[in-house]
Structure 1
Amino acid sequence: MNSLKLFILCCLVILFALNSQGASAELTVNDEYRLGSEDIIEISVWGDEELAREVVVRPDGGVSFPLAGDVKAGGLTVNELRDKLKERISEFIPDAPVTVILRKVEHPKVYVVGKVNKPSVLVMGQDMTVVQALAMSGGLSPFAESGSIIIVRRSKDGSQKVFPFDYDELADGENLKQNIILKPGDTVIVP
Structure 2
Amino acid sequence: MLRLLLPALCALSVWSGITTASENNAAYLLNPGDVVFVSVWREDTLKEEVHVLPDGSINFPLVGRVSVAGLDTSAVEKLIAKKLEEFIPDPNVSVVVRDPKGNLVYAQGKVMKPGSVQLAGPTAVLQVLSMAGGLDKFADKDGIKVVRNKQVLPVHYSDLISGRDMSTNYELQAGDTLVVP
* TM-score, L = length of structure 1: 0.67
Distance verdict in 2 for CA 1:91–1:31, change over 3 Å: farther
Pair 122,41 (structure 1): closer, same or farther in 2 beyond 3 Å: same
1:99 is matched with which residue?
A: 94
Percentage of matched positions with identical amino acids: 36
C-alpha deviations, 1:89-113, integer Å up to 9, x for none? 2322223332211112133432112
Alignment of 1:139-154 (within 5 A): 139-141=134-136, 143-145=137-139, 147-154=141-148
Which residue, out of 63, 67, 74, partners 2:62? 67
Q: Distance in 1 between matches of 2:149 and 2:97?
A: 28
Q: Deviations over 1:45-100 (max 9, x none)?
A: 23444321111122332211111112221222211211221222232222333221
Corresponding residue for 2:161? 171
Structure 2 distance, partners of 1:94, 1:57, is 26
Where does the alignment leave 5 or more consecutive residues of structure 2 unmatched? 1-24
Which portions of structure 1, spanning 4 or more consecutive aligned residues, are displaced by more than 4 angstroms? none
Count of residues in Structure 1 that have an aligned counterpart in Structure 2: 157
Preserved contact between residue 148 and residue 177 of structure 2 (Cα < 8 Å)? no
- Summarize the Cα distance change of 1:178–1:55 in structure 2 as closer, same or farther, 3 Å threshold: same
CA contact (8 A) 1:151 1:186 kept: no
Give the 3 Å change call, closer, same or farther, for CA 45–150 of structure 1 in structure 2.
same
Gaps of 5+ in 1: 1-29
Q: Give yes or no for the alignment of 1:132 onto 2:127.
A: yes
Aligned 1:24-103 pairs, distance under 5 A: 32-103=27-98
1:85 counterpart SS class: helix
Query: Are the aligned partners of 1:152 and 1:162 in contact in 2 as well (CA < 8 Å)?
Result: yes
Contact 2:149 / 2:176 at 8 angstroms: preserved in 1? Answer: no
Q: CA distance change for structure 1 residues 183 and 85 in 2, over 3 Å: closer, same or farther?
A: closer
CA drift of 1:131 comes to 0.6
Output the amino acid matched with 1:114.
G
Q: Name the residue aligned to 1:187.
A: 177
Q: Is the 8 Å Cα contact of residues 105 and 119 (structure 2) preserved in structure 1?
A: yes
Mapped partners of 1:87, 1:176: distance in 2: 45
Answer with 174-183 or 131-140: which moved more: 174-183
TM value normalised by structure 2:
0.70
For 1:39 and 1:129, the matched residues in 2 are separated by 21
